[in-house]
Amino acid sequence: MVKIASWNINSVRLRMPIVARFLEEEAPDVLCLQEIKTVESLFPYEAFNALGYVYHAVHGQKGYHGVATVSRIPLREFSRHDWQDNGEARHVGVELTGPGQGMVLENVYIPAGGDIPDRDENPKFGQKLDFLERMTRWAERIDRPTLIVGDFNIAPLECDVWNHKQLLKVVSHTPIEVETLQRFRDAHGWSDIGREHILAPERYYSWWSYRAKDWKAGDRGRRLDHMWASPELARQAVAHRVSEHCRDWPQPSDHVPLITEFNL
């Protein structure tokens, strides 16, 4: 059994105490972090080593973005793709070399896309769509069992947001983003592990804005974080859950972790 977790941590150095708490409570074999907001030299390697996570693949950047995959089972860095096409640190891929040997695990942080869902008025929105198109071209060539996880910054289904009609023109849930993400899904035949285990229209969110005074009372959530697998790998997923309680911890991220267990 291999347990894999994914979490947009929104600054790993600031939130290392809750990362440690999560690792002690859940003990995933591998943790994929997004938005680590640090350069590789300042990543808290020693803190992870002390918790038993002695294998690392870190693609960092000062102050923004950045992804890291830490593990207590052997792995090797496999790839770094610049799907943003501007040098930003938004992806790192690893290959498991111990338990689960041969699985490729891709960790990605897709751009948020700004506030206006129009390529001409908002270049960031165009960059997000282009990022997804580059990922789609890449996905067409995948020939190994692959799991891609991370903050996709898109809630594709009507039931993936607190109010579908109100959010149709809000970046992360617009029709063009949903269609673009669907093309990426079709390019490899990805299985959406979350929605295979938490069936639509069941409530399933992974992000709540910091602007809400009481995130739980308002519950204006969105499912922005995902774990998608190659079809043959998806059939080996035996459990999936969302760790919503982490949103109540001190100095929380606005995202919560996802966890999938595989019988490999």
Measured CA to CA, the distance from residue 197 to residue 18 in angstroms comes to: 26
The domains found in the chain, sorted by start residue, are 2-262 (3.60.10.10)
**197: enclosing H helix or E strand:** helix 193-197
Amino acid 10: pLDDT: 97
What pLDDT shows up at residue 99?
A: 86
Given a contact cutoff of 8 angstroms between Cβ atoms, the answer to whether 78 and 95 are in contact is yes
Q: Tell me what pLDDT residue 208 has.
A: 98
d(CA 214, CA 188): 39
Q: Can you spell out the DSSP letters for 130-150?
A: HHHHHHHHHHTT--S-EEEEE
Contact 225, 152 (CB under 8 A): yes
Place of tokens 């809750």: 18
What are the structure tokens assigned to 157, written together?
């289904």
Per-residue burial over 229-255, b if 16 or more Cβ lie within 10 Å, else e, is bbeebbebbeebebbbebbeeeebbbb
pLDDT at 233: 96
Distance of CA 168 to the CA centre of its chain: 22
- pLDDT given at position 264: 87
> Which of the residues in the chain have pLDDT under 50?
none
Residue 66 Cα distances to 69, 129, 168, 183, angstroms: 11, 19, 29, 25
The pLDDT of residue 90 is 98
Q: How many residues does the chain have?
A: 264
**Which pLDDT score is estimated for 201?**
97
- Tokens standing for 73? 């089972």
DSSP per position, 135-194 = HHHHHTT--S-EEEEEE-----SGGGBS-HHHHTTSTTS-HHHHHHHHHHHHHHT-EEHH
User: Would you give the end-to-end CA distance of the chain in angstroms?
Assistant: 6
- The three-point CA angle 99-49-37 to 5° equals 100
Instruction: Identify the DSSP state of 255.
Output: B
What CA–CA distance (Å, rounded) separates 264 from 197? 18
Nearby residues of 226 by Cβ (< 8 Å), 6 or more positions away: 148, 149, 150, 152, 192, 194, 258
Residues with Cβ within 8 Å of 46's Cβ and at least 6 positions away in sequence, in order, are none
